């Protein structure tokens, strides 16, 4: 029997919208998914989570936020909007993420690809960040009641790398940053340069920043050493921003996602 044996209506999340948005700066297309609370918005608007890899984790994030914020007096979590940034595919991931989430890197510095065919194009992180800041955010803020003082960026793996890149180069873009299992080893030299340039930027901003770094315990066996690198980064940043590093027991690079989402909500949406 087929998974979809009859032409029944497709399911969708309540209180959600989806559309395709073309970037004027890069001519790339993005599938934008937005979920909004059923509650009346507060005067300042709702906190908002901008979620990378929206194809894979949008539903998980939305339902997790809604469950945890259902009774704020008990959970300590308030309602929030979720904006998933993905691609026109039913698959959980799209090759375009390799370009959008990464820093420029020479082919000789890349690790071996999984399929032996080489990596997709790299190095479009700045263009992608410009799309978020100059095109996506203004449109979202026109359509929905957004609290601009409580904006959260969530990324995992290469998305975690992009999250750190954003914090280091445009720290004023968000107040809270969630970087799960960040691919720090992907052109680590350039990321370290960006980190060094972050400290004088941060001193000028005069705005508190929050960073949640994490990895799964089972990732310790991977050659990228993401656990050690993320923990060391948290220690270096601790004198400048509010930063937490957590390692999740018995979780690998993929299984860690639901745990990361739950913990990120409690870190970023406290009332």
DSSP secondary structure string for all residues of 26-54: T--EEEEEEE--SSPPPTT-EEEEEEESH
DSSP 11: P
Distance CA 146, CA 81 (A): 8
Q: Which of 178, 176, 138, 150 is nearest to 162 (CA)?
A: 178
CB atoms within 10 A of CB 174: 25
SS3 104: coil
Of 165, 219, 251, 268, catalytic:
219
Distance CA 8, CA 188 (A): 49
Q: Would you call 195 a catalytic residue per the annotation?
A: no
Of 56, 64, 69, 157, catalytic:
157
Phi and psi for 146 in degrees, rounded to 5?
-110, 135
Q: Would you call 240 a catalytic residue per the annotation?
A: no
SS3 252: coil
CA distances to 31, 114, 125, 155 from 166, in Å: 21, 27, 9, 11
Supply the pTM of this predicted model.
Answer: 0.94
Return the C-alpha torsion angle 7, 13, 17, 23, nearest 10: -90
Yes or no: say if 158 and 98 are a contact pair by the CB < 8 Å rule: yes
Q: Would you call 253 a catalytic residue per the annotation?
A: yes
Architecture of the domain made up of 16-268:
3-Layer(aba) Sandwich (3.40)
Tens digits of pLDDT across the chain (271 residues) = 456 666 788 888 999 999 999 999 889 999 999 999 999 999 999 999 999 999 999 999 999 999 999 999 999 999 999 999 999 988 888 888 999 999 987 766 666 666 666 777 889 999 999 999 999 999 999 999 999 999 999 999 999 999 999 999 999 999 999 999 999 998 899 999 999 999 887 777 767 899 999 999 999 988 889 999 999 999 999 989 999 999 999 999 999 999 999 999 999 999 9
SS3 144: coil
CA distances to 10, 65, 103, 191, 261 from 121, in Å: 34, 34, 11, 18, 28
Distance CA 172, CA 162 (A): 15
């Amino acid at each position: 029997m087929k998974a979809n044996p009859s032409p029944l209506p497709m399911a969708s999340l309540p209180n959600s919208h989806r559309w395709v948005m073309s970037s004027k700066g890069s001519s790339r297309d993005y599938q934008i998914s937005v979920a909004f609370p059923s509650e009346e918005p507060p005067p300042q608007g709702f906190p908002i989570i901008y979620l990378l890899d929206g194809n894979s984790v949008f539903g998980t994030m939305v339902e997790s936020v809604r469950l945890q914020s259902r009774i704020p007096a008990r959970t300590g979590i308030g309602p929030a909007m979720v904006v998933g940034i993905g691609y026109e595919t039913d698959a959980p991931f799209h090759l375009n993420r390799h370009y959008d989430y990464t820093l420029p890197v020479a082919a000789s510095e890349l690790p071996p690809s999984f399929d032996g065919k080489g990596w997709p194009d790299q190095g479009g992180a700045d263009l992608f960040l410009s799309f978020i800041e100059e095109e996506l955010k203004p449109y979202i803020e026109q359509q929905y009641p957004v609290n601009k003082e409580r904006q959260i960026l969530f990324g995992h793996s290469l998305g975690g790398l992009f999250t750190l890149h954003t914090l280091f180069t445009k720290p004023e873009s968000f107040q809270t940053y969630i970087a799960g299992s960040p691919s720090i080893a992907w052109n680590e030299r350039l990321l370290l340069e960006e980190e060094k340039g972050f400290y004088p930027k941060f001193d000028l901003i005069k705005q508190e920043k929050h960073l949640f770094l994490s990895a799964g315990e089972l990732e310790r066996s991977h050659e990228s050493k993401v656990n050690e690198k993320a923990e060391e980064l948290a220690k270096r940043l601790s004198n400048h921003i509010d930063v937490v590093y957590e390692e999740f027991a018995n979780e690998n690079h993929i299984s860690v996602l639901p745990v990361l989402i739950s913990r990120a909500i409690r870190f970023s949406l406290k009332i």
